[in-house]
Amino acid sequence: MSTLFISDLHLDAERPDITALFLDFLASEARAAEALYILGDLFEAWVGDDDSSPLIDAVRAGLRDLIAAGVPVYFLRGNRDFLVGAKFAADTGAQLLADPCLITLHGEPTLLMHGDLLCSDDLAYQTFRRQVRDPAWQENFLAQPLAARQAFAAQARAASQQHQDGLKASNALEAITDVSADTVTETLTRYGVIRLIHGHTHRPAIHSLRSGGHSAQRIVLGDWYTQGSVLRASADGFDLAMLAL
């Protein structure tokens, strides 16, 4: 049996084909998995567990059905859905994970992250991340009416796009929005691991590197914009595969 890892689906009502692909994945391949790990950005935006839409309701039901079939689902929040909380977990049965999270995968300690913390050269984003991850900020934000939170999310997405456009214009986008090699090495050393799995950068690949004098591995999950992407981990190794629409 394989353990499955996905991230960066960015599910949105404007891309119903991706939502359909994900729901089919839950009802087919994922049913035979040992476990499913979602490493953030399942949704394009998440403004609180009280939000509801046909898309959200369908995803909740799909996850609930998978878990009822005996497949555990673990959810690590991303930069778009960092407000996923206890109610979502209770509604679906998914288990929420801290970021980073250390697991044992086929006998090897493995660090799981969304990946945005590794992009330490993007100073503007890291400042924003610290602000919105503050418990006091989140409490104040979630106390606002749903419509106000949805408007803020739309503004934040527009600001993010403007920030990326500015980086692109200065030819800094590729470097700043990818991980920092020094931060990756420091993270592996701090947690005493030689394997890291993350998403966020939308640059799917299996990288070999050196850390602390040892061979190490960094596996980057792909996004779900024009196809699906899944990492299948088994005792035989890793398969980073695309899922066609």
For the segment 27-54, what is each residue's pLDDT rounded down to a tens digit? 999 999 999 999 999 999 999 999 999 9
- Banded pLDDT at 224 (limits 50, 70, 90): very high
- Banded pLDDT at 61 (limits 50, 70, 90): very high
pLDDT at 157 (0 to 100): 81
Residues 72-81, mean pLDDT to the nearest whole number: 97
pLDDT at 168 (0 to 100): 65
Distances (CA, A) of 199 to 206, 218, 219: 12, 10, 8
pLDDT per position as a tens digit, 126-171: 999 999 999 999 999 999 999 999 999 888 888 777 777 766 666 5
pLDDT at 175 (0 to 100): 59
Count of structural domains within the chain: 1
- Which residue range forms the structural domain that includes residue 189? 3-243
- Banded pLDDT at 174 (limits 50, 70, 90): low
| Residues 157, 161, 167: CA angle, nearest 5 degrees | 145
pLDDT at 167 (0 to 100): 63
Q: Is the dihedral of CA 112, 201, 93, 18 positive or negative?
A: negative
Q: Secondary structure of the chain: what % helix, strand, coil (to 5)?
A: 40, 25, 35
pLDDT at 212 (0 to 100): 85
pLDDT at 176 (0 to 100): 63
pLDDT per position as a tens digit, 226-243: 999 999 999 999 999 999
Between CA 25 and CA 121 the distance in angstroms is 35
Between CA 52 and CA 58 the distance in angstroms is 10
pLDDT at 172 (0 to 100): 57
CATH of the domain at 124: 3.60.21.10
- Looking at per-residue pLDDT, the higher value among 153 and 4 belongs to 4
pLDDT per position as a tens digit, 81-130: 999 999 999 999 999 999 999 999 999 999 999 999 999 999 988 999 99
| Helix (H/G/I), strand (E/B), else coil: 104 | strand
pLDDT at 156 (0 to 100): 82
